[in-house]
Amino acid sequence: MTLTLTDVTLTYPDGGTRLTALDRVSLHVAAGTLTAVVGPSGSGKSSLLAVAATLVTPDRGRVVVAGTETTGLGGAEKAALRRERVGIVFQQPNLLPSLTAVEQVLVMAHLSGGPARAARARARELLDAVGLADKADRRPHELSGGQRQRVNIARALMNEPAVLLVDEPTSALDHERGAAVLDLLAALTRERSTATVLVTHDRAHLDRVDGTVTMRDGRLTAHAPA
């Protein structure tokens, strides 16, 4: 399953005019591949992810998520598509302070229903996949920044997403931990055949991705295959 954006334009109100955050952006990400989006702050990277996640509706253009054309879908249909097909890892882990690691991951299963026993087994399996099998019962304050980001990634994978969208996962991490998170995302992308988009302002670690696109002033200005 893939992610395809075609000629997407997004504007925000800006005083009396409009600010163009995305200017005729096209991007195709195949299943099992990881595309990095780099570019300076304010260039439109998070806007691109928000549109791909169907959290924001573009002014123009098409967004096809895992075979579903999203143009014209209502809010409830988009919410269902996100819940069933899209995993989102925001920059800040946004973990709930009172929950253990395994409970953070289980929150996703409670949102989408399904048998509790199977969900618990899957949550533990995902924590194992991100290298936190022995930390499943810890709360956020008992985890390092890198470990919290791994819980965040495990949570995004709980609904077996076809499309995985990750915003600056390494910005709070040192070089070595950033590399480890990138390695993990690259491995999960292949193992789970997700179409993964990774936003980063950091050009380090890009040897681990399948392709890199560059955002500048709302435009994708370069596409260099890895």
**Rounded distance between C-alpha atoms, residue 51 and residue 82, angstroms:** 12
Residues 18, 9: Cα–Cα separation, whole Å:
12
Count the residues in the chain.
226
Q: Report how far residue 165's alpha carbon sits from residue 82's, in angstroms, rounded to the nearest whole number.
A: 11
CB of 126 to Mg ion, least distance (A): 26
Enter the tokens of residue 133: 């099998």
Q: Which stretch binds Mg ion (CB under 5 A): 37-45, 101-109, 142-150, 205-213?
A: 37-45
Give the CA angle between residues 139, 141, 145 to the nearest 5°.
105
46 makes contact with Mg ion (CB under 5 A): yes
Closest to Mg ion by CB, 21 or 186? 21
Q: Give min distance, CB of 217 to ligand ADP, in A.
A: 9
Residues that bind ligand ADP (CB under 6 A): 12, 19, 21, 39, 41-47
Q: Which lies closer to ligand ADP via its Cβ, residue 42 or residue 67?
A: 42
Between 35 and 46, name the residue whose CB sits nearer to Mg ion.
Answer: 46
Specify the residue, 52 or 132, whose C-beta has the smaller distance to ligand ADP: 52
Percentages helix, strand, coil for the chain, rounded to the nearest 5?
40, 30, 35
Question: Closer to ligand ADP at the Cβ: 110 or 223?
Answer: 223
**Which of Mg ion, ligand ADP, none sits in contact with 17, Cβ below 5 to 8 A by type?**
none
Contacted entry of ligand ADP, Mg ion, none for residue 12, CB cut-off 5 to 8 Å set by kind: ligand ADP
Residues 30, 195 contacting (CB under 8 angstroms): yes
Nearest to 220 by CA among 22, 20, 3, 10: 22
47 near Mg ion (CB under 5 A): no
Q: Which residues bind Mg ion (CB under 5 A)?
A: 45-46
